[in-house]
């Protein structure tokens, strides 16, 4: 049986100028990340949406590279980072002092309320000896999906619909499980063969807007069945799914190289009584013991 969770797959409509992606993140790609950090609920929901968005947008790229979605502001969450590279996702949120207590018991909150006035930055990093491509859009919208739609409309000039949903399945006899899902669809440009695509796009958008959060994250409703439920009138086709997983790219070498850029007096202050630099990856929480001599101290 094909996997129904922790996947990203392309889809298209036969009778409308639409191409898109559908993603499902669960036990392998999302749940360990959110349980690892134990964020307040509104922060966990926002980070889950950001991770799903990176998978959707990253899978659109026609070249290998690392896609980073980042937002900074003056709100309770000072920094939000989500990354996608070759089917792996990772992310974290940095909270201001006292923010966890203030957000306790809260539910979903708009990005601008959690992050404050700021911008959503999408960065495509193709590796060494290349200049990263960056796109920026204001955090204006009731949801992260609306902010991302604004980015595509303004920066890419492409009609785009995005839905993101994150939820927690409560198991009576065991730990809960975080699930997320997202659908991204884009309008193909008009040409001589297609003619004017405005009416077809409008019809597909009406169908797209009927999807609910419950449908998106329902473990009993696989991605292909969800697409059929939405677009069967348009002749929907889902392509081969690719796997997604929780994957961090940290290493002792990477952390050592970062520490080499710190002032020496700052590094000296970080040396523990055991004579080592105790470093921890912000993404995966893995601990490293680094010899100060390796960073020039």
Residues 41-88: pLDDT tens digits? 999 999 999 999 999 999 988 777 889 999 988 899 999 999 999 999
**Residue 190 gets which letter from DSSP?**
P
**Among 137, 85, 143, 89, CA closest to 113:** 143
Structure tokens at 50: 């950001």
- Domains of the chain, CATH where assigned: 7-246 (3.55.30.10), 252-295 (3.90.1280.10)
Instruction: Name the band, by pLDDT with cuts 50, 70 and 90, for residue 179.
Output: very high
Which residues 6+ apart lie within 8 Å of 203 measured at CB?
Answer: 16, 234
DSSP conformation class of 292: G
Question: How many of the other CB atoms lie within 10 Å of CB of 218?
Answer: 17
In 59-156, DSSP assigns E strands to 66-72, 77-85, 88-95, 119-125, 133-138
Pull the structure tokens for residue 95: 């909270």
Calculate mean pLDDT across residues 238-253: 93
**Confidence grade of residue 194 (pLDDT, cut at 50, 70, 90):** low
Summarize pLDDT for 83-132 with one digit per residue, the tens: 999 999 999 999 999 999 999 889 989 999 999 888 889 998 877 777 77
229 pairs with which residues across the strands? none
- The pLDDT score that the predictor gives to residue 192 is 57
Which tokens belong to 209? 């807007």
- Which residue blocks in the chain are alpha helix, DSSP H? 31-37, 41-58, 99-103, 111-115, 144-151, 198-208, 213-217, 223-231, 252-259, 264-270
Taking all residues of the chain, what is their mean pLDDT, rounded to a whole number? 90
Sign of the C-alpha dihedral computed for residues 16, 19, 25 and 30 taken in this order:
negative
List for the chain the helix, strand, coil content (%; round to 5): 30, 30, 35
pLDDT tens track for 24-35? 999 999 999 999
Q: Quick check: helix, strand or coil at residue 274?
A: coil
Which of 2, 180, 148 lies closest to 69, judged by CA? Answer: 148
Asked if the model's pLDDT at residue 171 lies above 80, the reply is no
| Number of Cβ within a 10 Å radius of residue 159 | 20
Is the pLDDT reported for residue 1 higher than 70? no
- Overall average pLDDT of the 176-199 stretch: 84
Residues 259-284 have a mean pLDDT of 84
């Amino acid at each position: 049986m094909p996997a129904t969770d922790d996947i990203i797959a392309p889809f298209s409509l036969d009778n409308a100028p639409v191409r898109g992606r559908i993603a499902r993140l669960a036990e392998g790609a999302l749940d360990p990340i959110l349980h690892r950090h134990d964020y307040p609920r509104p922060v966990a929901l926002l980070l889950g949406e950001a991770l799903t968005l990176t998978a959707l947008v990253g899978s659109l790229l026609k070249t290998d590279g690392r896609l980073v979605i980042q937002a900074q502001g003056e709100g309770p969450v000072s920094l939000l980072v989500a990354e996608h590279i070759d089917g792996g996702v990772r992310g974290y949120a940095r909270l201001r002092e006292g923010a966890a207590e203030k957000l306790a018991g809260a539910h979903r909150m708009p990005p601008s309320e959690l992050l404050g006035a700021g911008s959503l930055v999408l960065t495509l990093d193709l590796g060494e000896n290349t200049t990263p491509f960056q796109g920026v859009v204001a955090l204006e919208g009731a949801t992260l999906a609306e902010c991302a739609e604004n980015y595509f409309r303004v920066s890419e000039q492409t009609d785009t619909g995005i839905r993101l949903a994150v939820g927690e399945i409560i198991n009576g006899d065991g730990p809960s499980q975080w699930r997320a899902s997202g659908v991204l669809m884009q309008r193909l440009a008009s040409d001589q063969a297609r003619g004017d695509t405005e009416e077809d796009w409008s019809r597909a958008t009406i169908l797209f807007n009927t999807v609910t959060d419950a449908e998106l994250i329902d473990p009993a409703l696989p991605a292909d069945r969800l697409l059929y439920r939405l677009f069967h009138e348009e002749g929907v086709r889902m392509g081969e799914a690719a796997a997604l997983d929780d994957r961090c790219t940290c290493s002792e070498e990477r952390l050592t190289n970062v520490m080499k850029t710190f002032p020496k007096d700052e590094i000296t202050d970080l040396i523990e009584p055991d004579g080592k630099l105790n470093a921890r990856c912000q993404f995966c929480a893995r601990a490293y013991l680094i010899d100060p001599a390796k960073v020039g101290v």
